[in-house]
Structures are given as structure tokens and as C-alpha cells.
Amino acid sequence: MRFAKQIAPLLAAIVALQLAFGLGVPRLWGPVPHFWTWGNQVDLAEQISINAILALGMTLTILIGGIDLSVGALQALVGTTTVYLLTMGNPPTESPARLIGAALAGLAVAALFGLFHGVCAAKTRMPAFIITLATMLIARGAAFRFNQGNPVNVPQQYTIFPALGSGRLAGLPVPVIVMGLIFLATAVLLHRTRFGQHLYAMGGNREAARFTGIPLARNEIAVYTICSILAGVAGLINASQLSSGQPSSGDGFELNAIAAAVVGGTSFTGGIGTMGGTLIGAAIIGTVNKGLNMAGVHFSYQYIVKGLVILAAVWLDVRRRK
């Protein structure tokens, strides 16, 4: 019942946005508004996939009262590392084994960052904001060390790696399928396991959770590691879509991920949030972006609208908690 009360307003917001943009955006062809066509909805899902993946990991960190500002930079570092390893050699060659090895190496880098975040947050008194702000700069700088700061391009003859970002299975883009699988995995982890119950307890009252025997340090390390690995997955998809490892990619993506989680009902005070809400929050942010783009709204106004949406979401959260 509580879950339904949290999700119902978000679903109503999605419906309202779809109606507004469907009726407001000019009909480019046919009797059905272009915004409502199947192709446009699939494109919308593909566009939100990276932000949704980042936001699902961010939800876990916010849920325990933390934050991770490094996910955008980690996305760039993992993408650049993976493409660099994948294209080594003269001439470079592509094979499934090499692709898997390069991707695992990139994800291992992300996992090490996440492990560092978790250990520092759990074992020191440093706030997660400062820890991840520092590693955001470290990860971004490390990404620029590859290829003297220039993009690392994927050779045109490669076909396997580009399919991760542009391929389709059963008519659906691969990034959308990956997003769906990650959503299911994280939803089960959070809502159907003891680990998830522990996270809610930690975010609700950390001292009470400590006295009940919940392993705070172990859970915190696990949360930050999962968040960083998901940032790595987003980095692989982004590099595949760009056909290159871009050291400057992902700039500001951490803010979009936080926005999606907050709009989806995750409370900055911790202990409140759902994966379903975060996914809908990412859809709301993506729908606003795409609708305003299709309507020809200047990008400066798009920033203003997105800021107002976030403010409204936080205000509603404060009202709900009173």
C-alpha cells in the first residue's frame, strides 16, 4: 500500500507529461502525434538508459544517507580504459575474448574506486560528499591520461563492441535491455533480500541499526562498490554509442542521476526510496528533455524547467515527511 502511494503520483506525472507533449508537439506525420509513436517511445527509453543505470546505483547510496559524485567521471574512465585496451596492438583486432577481457578490466577499475569509497566512508569520519568529490577529480584526471587527453576511437571494422550501444534484440535497443535487467536485479536486491532491509534500517536510524547487529561497514562497502560497477556498465554503453572512449564524457551525469533518484521519491535524509520510483524518475527527466527538444525549446529554458522539476520533487518529499 505504501509503495502504491509513492508510485501513483509518479505514474500520474508520466501520463501528464506524455499528454502534454503528445498534444503540444507538432504532428510531423500521420494521425498519431509523433511523440506517441512506438519508435519515439523506444528512442526515449534508449536515451534514459544510461541515466537510469547510474540512478539505480545512486539510489542505494542515498538510501543509506550517502552520495556518490564520481559516477560521471568513472563512466568516462571505464569507457576510455576499455576502448584503450580493446584497440591495443598494431593492427588492432577484435575478438569476443578480448572484448570480455577489456570490459572486465574496465569494470574492475570501477569496482576498486567503489571499494575505496566504501572503506573510507565506513572506516573514517570523512563525509561521502568529500570522498567522492575527490575521486571524481582523480577519475577524470586518470581518464585524460589516456592518449594525451584525446578520444580513443574504436576502429571502423569493429562490430561487436559497437553493438552494445547500437544493437537491437527482439526490436529493442540493447541498452534498454541492459537497463531492464539491472533494474530487476537491483529491485530484487533492495526489496526482496535481507541486505535491502538492512539498507533501509541504516538510512532510517544508523545507531539503531548498529545496536541490532547489522554489519554497517560491510553493507556500506557493498553499496558503494555496486554503485561504481553500475557506473562502469554505463561507461561501457556510452563508449559503445560514441564509438570512442571520451575522457570528457559523463560530465554532469552524476547530477542527472541524483535528480532521477530524488524525483523518483528517494529522500536525501535516507531510509526512503524504491527502485521502481527511481526508474520512473529517470523516465520523467528523460521525457521532459525529449519533449522540450522536440518542441524546439531553447536549451537555456530546458535547464530552468529541469531545476524547477527537481525543486518540486524535493518540496513534495519534505511535505510528505512532515
Q: 172-173 and 152-153 as β-strands: parallel, antiparallel, unpaired? A: unpaired
Residue range of the domain that includes 70: 41-321
Residue ranges in 65-166 assigned as alpha helix (H): 71-86, 96-123, 128-145, 160-166
Three-state DSSP state, 173: strand
In a domain? residue 27: no
Where in the chain does DSSP place strands (E)?
152-153, 168-169, 172-173, 244-245
For residue 31, tell me if it sits in a domain. Answer: no
Quote the CA–CA distance of 307 and 293 in Å, as a whole number: 16
Residue at 25 is within a domain = no
122 assigned to some structural domain: yes
Question: CB-based contacts of 222: which residues, under 8 Å, 6+ apart?
Answer: 118, 195
- What per-residue confidence (pLDDT) applies to 3? 60
Which cell goes with 24? 503540444
Residue 9 lies in a domain: no
Q: What is the pLDDT of residue 2?
A: 55
Q: Is residue 18 part of a domain?
A: no
Amino acid identity of 120? C
Q: How many domains does the chain have?
A: 1
Q: Which residue has the cell 537491483?
A: 186
pLDDT of residue 9: 80
Residue 51, CA distances (Å) to 85, 250, 272 in order:
25, 10, 20
Check if the beta carbon of residue 258 is closer than 8 Å to that of residue 50. no
Q: Is 50 in contact with 39 (CB distance < 8 Å)?
A: no
Q: Is the pTM of this model over 0.75?
A: yes
Cβ proximity of 228 and 71 under 8 Å? yes
Asked, for residue 186, whether it belongs to a domain, the answer is yes
Does a structural domain hold residue 46?
yes
Q: What is the CATH number of the domain that holds 107?
A: 1.10.3470
Cα–Cα distance, 95 to 87 (Å, whole number): 11
Q: What is the pLDDT of residue 29?
A: 46
pLDDT along the chain (322 residues), means of 10: 69 86 64 75 94 97 96 96 88 86 96 97 92 97 87 89 91 96 97 95 92 94 98 97 93 92 89 93 92 84 85 76 62
